[in-house]
Amino acid sequence: MRISLTTSKNNTMRKQIAAANWKMNLTYQQAEKLLDEMIATPHELKDGQLAIFAVPFPYLQLANEKLGGKKNVFVAAQNCYNKKSGAYTGEVSVEMLTSMNIEYVVLGHSERREYFNESNQLLAEKINICLDNNINPIFCCGESLSIREANTQNDFVGKQLEESLYHLSAEQIQKIVIAYEPIWAIGTGKTASSEQAQEMHAFIRSQLAKKYGNDIAENITILYGGSVKGNNAAELFSQKDVDGGLVGGASLNATEFVAIINALK
Ligand code: PEP
């Protein structure tokens, strides 16, 4: 399912997205219940607004069955491997995902960078294989608390973008959704202030503009992630360069996640 984009309130063509990252949570039965609750809770996705559900691999088909065909709703994977196919026991290829009509994959989440040693270079390879197979990466970046305290977050995030994305063509970069997720705000209940989020999003967009030009940079969706909840989403999303959120904990509760969807601008 492809959607047509219309100019949104910020006068750009960029999509506004509420993306759920379930991480390694929920049994099959709990996942089924949550999806049913999500569907039953009234929410509205206007043109140019998307809800994306990044569910664990074993639940992709279930999510497809429950959400498939719903307007502007997509099912995503939380990871994929950087090789096409073969003897890589336990890994999941992009071909497997496209064969299930999956169109988005979360890449470079800080948990994968930390616990699975994913480097900027490896992520560049994963980005390439996704784009070659018509999958849109949701590329996560963001700094640790010590980097923020040293005030070197721009250099750090700039390097993540440069090493994983800047080999892409102008056409390819427009297929990427960027998620800025300061590590100190993930799962901690400590949200970046809307000013901190806007400042980093504007920096990211300025770097993209330097590399690809203003028009392209203006049309790239940049999500904020880090303790987004129903009661802080509207304030965060009201910022000029914040185009929605990548949501962990609060996406496990239908009422919370629907409030976040309804906060999209
Ligand atoms: C995340 O997992 O990407 C995330 C931002 O988690 P949380 O919303 O729980 O901070």
pLDDT recorded at residue 5: 38
Q: What is the pLDDT of residues 128-185, one digit of tens each?
A: 999 999 999 999 999 999 999 999 999 999 999 999 999 999 999 999 999 999 999 9
Q: Give the helix ranges, DSSP H, for 188-239.
A: 194-212, 214-218, 233-237
- Torsion (CA) 121, 125, 126, 129 in degrees, nearest 10: 170
Gap from CA of 183 to ligand 1 centroid (Å)? 9
Q: What is the pLDDT of residues 12-57, one digit of tens each?
A: 789 999 999 999 999 999 999 999 999 999 888 999 999 999 999 9
> Is residue 21 in contact with ligand 1, taking CB distance under 6 Å?
yes
In the predicted structure, residue 11 carries a pLDDT above the cut 60: no
pLDDT recorded at residue 42: 84
Mean pLDDT of the chain: 94
- Structure confidence at residue 237 as a pLDDT band (50, 70, 90): very high
pLDDT recorded at residue 7: 43
Number of H helices, E strands in the chain: 12, 8
In the predicted structure, residue 8 carries a pLDDT above the cut 90: no
3-state secondary structure of 8: coil
> Is residue 187 in contact with ligand 1, taking CB distance under 6 Å?
yes
The number of the ligand 1 atom at minimal distance from the alpha carbon of 251 is: 8
